[in-house]
Structure 1
Amino acid sequence: MSTNTWNNEYHIALEGKDLQANAMAVDCTGTYVVLAGRRYVAIANLEEEDSLKKFPRQSKYDVGTAEWNPTLHNKELCVISSNQRLEVLTWRNEELTQTHSLRAHTRVITDLNWHRFDPNLIASCSADTFIHIWDIRDPRRPTISLSAIAEASQVSWNRISPNILATAHDGDIKIWDQRKGTAPTKYIAAHLSKIHGLDWSPCSQNHLATSSQDNTVKFFDVESPRRPEHVLTTTSPVWRARYTPFGNGMITVVVPQLRRGENSLLLWNTANRSTPMHTFIGHRDVVLEFEWRSQKPGDTNYQLITWSKDQTLLVWKIEPFLQKLCGHEPEESKDPNDPVYSEIIESVKKSNSLTKVQPLLQEFSLMNVHIPNLEVINLDPTDRSCTVKATINNFVVNLQVLFPLAYPHGVPPVFQQTSSNINDKITSSLLQTLNHLAQQRVSKNRTCLEPCLRQMVTTLEQLSRDQENDKVVNTLYIEQPGVFSGLNDAYIPFPKTSGAKFCSVGMLVCFGRPVHRRLSNKIDSTTPRALSALENIIAKRNNSNYMTVSAYYFQKQRRPAKQAAAKPKALVLVYDALRLFFVDRQLAEEYILDGDVGTVCKHNAAAAASVGRCDLVQAWTLAELVAGPQQAEEEMTWAAHPFGSKLMQSLISHYASQSDVQMAAMLSCIFGKENDTSCSKKTSMKSLKSPTQFASGKRWFKNGGSPYHTIPPADVIAEGWVIPTLKTTRSTSLDNLRLEEPAFAPPPKNPSSSLYEYYKLAYAETLHRWRLIYNRAEVIKYMCAPADPHKGVQFVTECHGCQAPINQCCCNNCKRLSLQCSVCRISVRGSANCCIICGHGGHTNHLQEWFQTRDTCPTGCGCRCLMETAELFNT
């Protein structure tokens, strides 16, 4: 370890190839750093060379997170998470010992955080949805347990308020107050993708930053959490986003699991979020963790500590010019009369004059300032800045370029837009192009000012042409609709201006135009047949301006000045038409299905009598009488009764023809097929043939019929014509009935099975819309429709015992479990995942832990499972 040799802006503090650590933390004094992995826990002193001490770990689980106690009172305490437990370690007298083991979580711990004011409190969260608050003075159980519905991935104590903490659950945030019970005080729907990081503002107790898989960092005020105050957009998913200890800065890093070659950290100014202020380039692999080192007294340079997958620990010096880019003015606290300080100043001046200013001055002198459409306003090698102005068509852009001291050796310049008349989208595109070009050149230690300025002019010219083309297209299609509308709009039906529709729960919904609009002009009294007819109506009004449908029907009315300007409204009326139908919600709540057939019929007859349905009472009484022989003599079923089967068929067909789907479905459930093994419920009827006689001779959707009648009567369905599959239902909870007989096929020989299934499914949909979930579940239990044949890709593996190909959980030959976990070598009985390329797999949680730190198959076959599977699906 060396603290004196700096490579541009960083130095390598530690290289530990054998550590295989994936967690890093810096103590509150900035002296010690802990590196934790499956094999070792290592402690290093950042002030001394070769001070690394390694302590072996006897655990098969990796370390998820590590953190030092942030208070000076317990500065020697460090906590790491390993699978489902927390290990509290004490660093004293150059020895590391475990003092506490905290166990309460039932799944892997995802994050932890020490309390910033109380040195004894730790908060931990887990995939088991719990957030535990521990007091290390009583490690037997958590002092407070907070329960959430979704997995908790992040937890963070507020930096100012001692009782507030925040947790992340997928894309949501919950704010908790440990004084107010176990329910969250606030809820924030922050992102549509998973949140990877939380960080409270060091200056305000109400401000919080979140980093997510959706390539954004959002800034929230928890007092008004409906929408973020600001959004910072990056080019990759963000793993961590943390405030700087100075100014308005923020550091972001890409998600390690992506491994896209994004090995750098980005420094942002939260007041100017269009482009990063600086890029920290030095690691050869993705960054796993980074923290700020406490500033020493009298030092104006902050330090950033980073640990990467390349197993190197880098210390970055944040120079004053970077602090100024984040809105912070560093104060010189050194005494100029100090001879040591004077020597440092002279060294810096000499270094700047010899190695820093001269290359930049040479670049300025060799640059061609006569670039078309570009004016070079200022070139200052002393302040290391350049100011230019670009004027292209209607674009005017003023750009300032700042050159860090290490430029051009791996460090690009910083581009800042001072003033312009272009929007944020064009600004972001321009700065992104300049940063990309500059990064490419400085990575090879080449200067980049003139190429970037020429690229700036080219980019603005292209953006200007694109904007002009968009205006031409908008003029053709929006300002002059007559150019193309006459060709196409004649085939577009005019939108409905009124209508009425029944829904399956007895509601009639009606909508129409406002009454005063219908009566205001005779021209408006009829609805045009096509959209092109709207132009003729406008022409009759001598109105040459383009008008949309909504603008035509809802334009503002001219009213006297003294009259209240009430806005015209189109009403949507909803009527309760349940009494017009035979289905009844009260009956649906009181009907039963389970039990002896005679008892069920008697109960349902009493329910029908309570609502005044005498016809249903007679039907249930007949059903009870028909079921009687089974109760009197076990050997004789009621299906063998001379009136049994025919009577039930007649009853079901009668109520189906009357559109009483409720009664038809109930009888179909109670008197279903007993010998059908596909049914989940067995009842007392041996067989039930399809009805053959119907009062109505109508057929639905025959050749030459109207295609607009999409709902057939029940009696026509039984004739063997098209049976609807209910695919148009708006409820996604029902399993849609699919029939193997195609539409317009010859009538099936015995269509009763599909017919009775249709009644059950239609009634179940009505129950679902009534929100009678449990009643619907009872009806669904009596469904007898066969399972759909599998039409997708099937995973086939070989049995480990007899090598026979199998696609089920057990082998048909030797009866062994088919899949063996590649990690634990135990047969898989629960949730499992397999690689499509090599066929190896295992327990889902074992594979997830394995591929968090590795990218090759655990069997040693050499397959890069995640990457090769992703490439397969991308192709």
Structure 2
Amino acid sequence: MTTFSVTQEGPVNALALNKDNTQVAIGGRNVFKVYNIEEDSFKEICNLRASKHLNLSFSCNDVAWSSNDDNYLATAATNGHVCVWNLTKMGKAMQEQVYQEHKRTVNKVNFHVSEPYRLISGSQDGTMRYFDLRCKAAVAIFYSNTESVRDVQFSPHQPYMFAAVSENGSVQLWDVRKTEKCMQQFAAHSGPVFACDWHPEVAWLATASRDKSIKVWDLTSKPTLDYTIHTIASIGYVKWRPQRKYHIASCALVVDCSINIWDVRRPYIPFASFNEHKDITSRVVWRGDPQTFLSTSRDCTLYQHSFKDASRPATKANPQSVSLNKQGTVLYANRQHGSSSNSSVKSTSIMRKSSNTVVSDQFHLASSSLQSFHSKVANDNSSFGVIAKNYVLSDLPFWELCERNAAVAKECGKSNVSILWKIVRTMYADEYCQSSINNASLQRDDLGVQNNIEGDNNKTKGYDTPQFCSGDDETENEDQVDHVNAYYDFSATSKFGLPKGDFSFGENELDLELDSLSIDYRNGIRNSGHLIQQEDWHLPNEAFNVRHEILDRSPPPEQFSNHSPDLNDETQLSIEDQTPCFITINKLPKKPIWDPSNIVVDTLKHYAMIGDVQTAACILTVLGDHRKSLKSLDEPTQEHWLLGYIELLCRSKLWNQAAQIIKLSWIQNINTLNQQSTRINTSCSQCLKPLHRIGWLCDRCHSSEYSLCSLCHQVVKGLYSWCQGCSHGGHILHMQQWFLGNKVCPTGCGHMCEYR
């Protein structure tokens, strides 16, 4: 058998085979044909829409072929008619019977398994009609009491029983001899049931629904759910595979165009798939052979499929998996190479005639080994709560927040997080701010700052105190003096715990981070954007006094080839007049600005990636205005971290800490969370039903006692305090006084209430 197809004039909705599986009838809105099935093609033998007397009866929702007579077809029409066709006649006479019993569209028709003149139909009007082809009208009417009947199927195991599935998700079992009431009815799905099919060997009924599931019910006695298959889309049709007890075919209503063959014992992945159709598949029917079946689709094609051409999704499934539980245990399953699954299949095929058949009916076997890993960091749930409760995120200076949180992290055994807090403090509280301000003032090209390094007489231990000179007016610079002292005074930096410089000159230690220079503001400094006085910096030529005059002097500058004659006389000073010699610095080199924002962003992303979103969210919160420098960290990522931390806090029942994060948030979507779902519904103290409406009356027991104080028995009009366990309460002051000396509910219900 090979796979082949034929194209039609329009979408095909219905499909049926004759009893010998040699002819196929297809139907649709614009299609109604009968084909003979050849070796590798379909041969058209009858086009019923070729008649001159076309009407809505030729528009088919479903078609059924008599199980005993190849000359009779039945169709379900969109106009509510049930038509019986005799293929031995020609023209208009082919419509041997037209039953106009239903008021709305007929969804399904089905012939009796053993009696060729018995026919059942299900309609959108919620009724089922039982026909005898020898009669002009329906012999019985069954009312489902539902909006519509989607499918009806005669049972192959009991001759008088048929099953009907409805729009409301229920399944009904009827006896054709009793029209008053169904034998059994049960809710099978949470959505409309679109199709059902009886198993040919056992008393199983498969149902397919909009709720994306296929269910197998054992109807031997009381309906019992044996198997459930969850799919990716709503299922529109199912059909059991012959000679394979656990195999069933399905096609979807939307999204998925494939025909999937399922093994109900392994419901998580299809046993085989056929992907020839380009649009939604409407019907599937087996040719009596488990290796061949036919299908129709909205893509206007009729296909015959050979099972050897099927794809096996299980062979493409990843045998590796990983799972993480709340305790931090990681389970990892990886492929076990050299498994014996293939060898078992080969050994089985030796005892069969055809190895291909055996291989095609074997579900893909894969062996995996399971490994377990335990993470001490992830398993330490207690440290999360301790850190969350003891972290301070606001109302203190930045450096103090970092110091306190570093100490908390260290106490909880998180040394890396403690060091990270100290690094952030150093970057943003001291060094980075100081470097940024210094370099910002040095980057103006039209202005300069000259510092004079004097002798030991002008040096003090630490840094020289800045002195601003602005001519006659010295008072206007007092604010600038205080501002500069905040960044240059060594006592201020000592408060933050910064180390001193690595170099010392005699007894005076200078911090190299400030260029190891004592700044003499009397000689010159920029004030309010203007240069007050500009002089060159002079450094002593030697670190010791000259003992005698150097006689061998260097030649004058005029003798050098690179000497510029344009220099003025004041600049060309003779070396004899320079006693002692000085090195002239015409321009102070700029100190490069170091921006740590990229390193901070990478560090926070690292902690978030390893699962420590607490550290990332807390550092972001403490940074405050410094977050503006983290330009490479977008707002959605920050929001994701904060929401993740809030969720973890809520899981740990740390409501106060979660509320604090929401309050301190700078993102509007998070900052407004505490304004949502703030309503708390109490419960009735009599029947414990939640009270959803405003008022003093319970909807269930109509009691108003829950609004009375348990101590004074008066209506509570102010603040109301109640126990969430027993729902008893009263005035907040009365409850407070009661629980100062009692632990049991004041009503005498015996509940151990907890007052907070």
Larger radius of gyration: 2
TM-score range, shorter chain: 0.3 to 0.5
Under a length normalisation based on structure 2, what TM-score does the superposition of the two structures give? 0.45
Which of structures 1 and 2 has the larger relative contact order (alpha carbons within 8 angstroms, sep 6+)?
2
Under a length normalisation based on structure 1, what TM-score does the superposition of the two structures give? 0.40
